[in-house]
Amino acid sequence: MLVGPKYKICKRLGASVFEKCQTQKFQLAEARAPRRSRPKRGGNSDFGAQLLEKQKARFTYGLTESQFSRYVHEAMEKKGKESSSALLVRLESRLDNVIYRAGLVKTRRAARQLVSHGHVVVNGRRMTIPSYCVSVGDVVSVRQESRTSPLFLGRAEQLADIKTPHWMQMEEGGLSLKISALPSLSETELPFNAAVIIQFYSR
C-alpha cells in the first residue's frame, strides 16, 4: 500500500503510526520543531476526531481502506465494548502482524514481504497470504529451507532483547511460535482508540 511521506503522515496524525517515526531521532526533531497553530482537518468536530483515529489505525497496520472497513464491520457484529475488542483481535491476528510482534523483522512491511515470499509456514503448511488470520493453537514458523538465511542468523541470541506478547510462546530458538491465547493489547500500547473507530463506522 502506497502511503506517501511517512514523516509528514505521522506529524499530521499526531502519532507514531510507522516504525520509522518511532526512532529517537524523529522524536527529538519533533520536540525541537517550533509549534505552528494550524487548523486540523475536520476542525474540532466529532467526525474529525473519529476520522483521525481511523487513519491512525489504518496506517499503523498498513491496510487499505477496503480491508480496514471490512475488519471494522465484522467486529461491529458484536455489541458494545466487544466490538472494540473484536477489532483489535482481528488486526493483531493478521499473520504479518504476528511475524512483526514476534520480532522476526523490524517492520510490518518487512513482515508482509517475508510472508509473501514464502518464508513462513502455519501448522506445517506454507503460507503466502499476509492477511491470513491465525487462531489459538496455531504454530507459526520460519520455513526450514529459509532458516539459513542471513535474516535469521543469531536469532536465538536476540530473543533476550525482544519483548514478545504474552499471547504467543516462542519455540525452536525463536524461529517458531505458538499462539497460546487471543491477542490482546492495553490502551496504552495503541496509538489509536478502537472505540472511537467503531463510532465512526456506526454513523
In tens, the pLDDT along 79-117 reads 767 899 999 999 999 999 999 999 999 999 999 999 999
**Within a domain: residue 57?**
yes
Domains in the chain: how many in total?
2
- Which residues constitute the domain of residue 175? 95-179
**Within a domain: residue 184?**
no
Could you give the strand order of the β-sheet that contains 139-142, starting from the edge strand earlier in sequence?
A: 125-126, 120-122, 139-142, 176-179, 168-171
Distance (Å, rounded) from C-alpha 36 to C-alpha 72?
A: 34
- State residue 154's pLDDT score: 87
- State residue 79's pLDDT score: 73
In the chain, which residues have pLDDT < 50?
A: 2, 37-42
Beta-carbon neighbour count of residue 146 at 10 Å? 17
The CATH number given to whatever domain includes residue 136 is 3.10.290.10
- State residue 5's pLDDT score: 66
60, amino acid identity: T
Greatest Cα pair distance, the chain, in angstroms, is: 54
- Residue percentage of the chain with pLDDT more than 70: 77
- State residue 18's pLDDT score: 61
Is there a single domain that holds both residue 122 and residue 54? no
- State residue 57's pLDDT score: 93
Reported pTM:
0.79
Distance (Å, rounded) from C-alpha 167 to C-alpha 180?
A: 5
Is there a single domain that holds both residue 122 and residue 135? yes
- State residue 75's pLDDT score: 94
Is there a single domain that holds both residue 45 and residue 118? no
**Nearest to 179, CA basis, from 146, 132, 119:** 132
- State residue 90's pLDDT score: 96
- If you search the block for the grid coordinates 522476526, which residue do you land on? 104
Contacts of 44 (CB under 8 A, 6+ apart): none
- State residue 158's pLDDT score: 86
- State residue 187's pLDDT score: 60
Is there a single domain that holds both residue 77 and residue 99? no
Query: What region does 14 belong to: left with phi over 0, alpha with psi -120 to 50, or beta?
Result: left
CB 177 within 8 A of CB 170: yes
- State residue 68's pLDDT score: 97
- State residue 2's pLDDT score: 43
- State residue 35's pLDDT score: 53
Is there a single domain that holds both residue 99 and residue 146? yes
CB 52 within 8 A of CB 59: no
